[in-house]
């Protein structure tokens, strides 16, 4: 399995994979009518795919920001201004290759990129994404709080997590 930077040519495959994950797991909860900007977000600092036998089997991004409610909780917990946080986002893995370490590898590459940029890795996750929550906690992430995040007319409960201390992130 190879983790590499996402390219423009990967976007169709990433979108297809996200729709498959949505059908199986309900992620993301609020699937936009046009999923493309959700994947190719203007907030992305960096994006990666996991590839196996030439197929894209996973995706993750590092974003500069997240919903304001979640940023505020992470910022208060870490006592860092929001511009010193890096948000791990858009993590999903093909249902066909689960429990083989792909999610862990993607979480790691995005966390390491955050640290390399002088940012503390943070993320948010809906409480029913139990596999993701177990992955984060297994990798040393700490739950900093819970928010009701608003997305236009919708609102969602989210747990806010902060990554391990940056000096530990490279060895986790
Ligand atoms: C969460 C997700 C990315 C994990 O991907 P994955 O490649 O299967 O994860 P890994 O194989 O790297 O798992 C690493 C560890 O996480 C935990 N874990 C992962 N999936 C789990 C599950 N279904 N149940 C319990 N623990 C799980 C385990 O501790 C696992 O280690 P182990 O297999 O040695 O026990 C994947 O399940 C997914 O895409 N889910 C839907 C989308 C989603 O919820 N994204 C997160 C949104 S915030």
Q: Is 136 or 169 the better-scoring residue by pLDDT?
A: 136
pLDDT for 119: 97
Q: Which of 64, 106, 95 shows the shortest CA–CA distance to 82?
A: 64
Nearest CA to ligand 1 atom 20: 131
Q: What percent of the chain has pLDDT over 90?
A: 90
Nearest CA to ligand 1 atom 28: 135
Instruction: Please indicate whether residue 29, judged by its CB atom, sits closer than 6 Å to ligand 1.
Output: no
Q: Tell if the pTM clears 0.85, that is, is over it.
A: yes
Residue 152: which pLDDT band, with cuts at 50, 70 and 90?
confident
Q: Tens digits of per-residue pLDDT, 45-71?
A: 999 999 999 999 999 999 999 999 999
- Which atom of ligand 1 lies at the shortest distance from residue 21's CA? 41
pLDDT for 32: 86
**Distance from chain centroid for Cα 154:** 20
- Rounded to whole angstroms, the Cα distance separating 157 from 138 reads 22
Residue 17: which pLDDT band, with cuts at 50, 70 and 90?
very high
Nearest CA to ligand 1 atom 27: 131
- Which atom of ligand 1 lies at the shortest distance from residue 135's CA? 16
CA of 100 to the centre of ligand 1 (A): 9
- Rounded to whole angstroms, the Cα distance separating 17 from 141 reads 26
């Amino acid at each position: 399995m190879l983790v590499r930077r996402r390219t423009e040519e990967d976007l169709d495959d990433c979108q297809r994979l996200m729709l498959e994950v949505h059908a199986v797991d309900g992620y993301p909860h609020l699937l936009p009518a046009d999923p493309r900007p959700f994947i190719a977000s203007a907030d992305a600092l960096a994006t990666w795919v996991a590839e196996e036998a030439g197929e894209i089997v996973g995706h993750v991004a590092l974003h500069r920001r997240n919903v304001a409610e979640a940023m505020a909780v992470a910022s208060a917990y870490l006592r860092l201004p929001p511009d010193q946080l890096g948000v791990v986002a858009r993590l999903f893995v093909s249902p066909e290759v689960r429990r083989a370490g792909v999610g862990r590898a993607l979480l790691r590459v995005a966390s390491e990129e955050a640290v390399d940029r002088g940012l503390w890795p943070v993320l948010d996750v809906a409480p029913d994404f139990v596999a993701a929550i177990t992955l984060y906690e297994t990798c040393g992430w700490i739950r900093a709080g819970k928010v009701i995040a608003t997305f236009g007319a919708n609102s969602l409960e989210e747990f806010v997590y902060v990554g391990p201390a940056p000096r530990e992130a490279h060895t986790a």
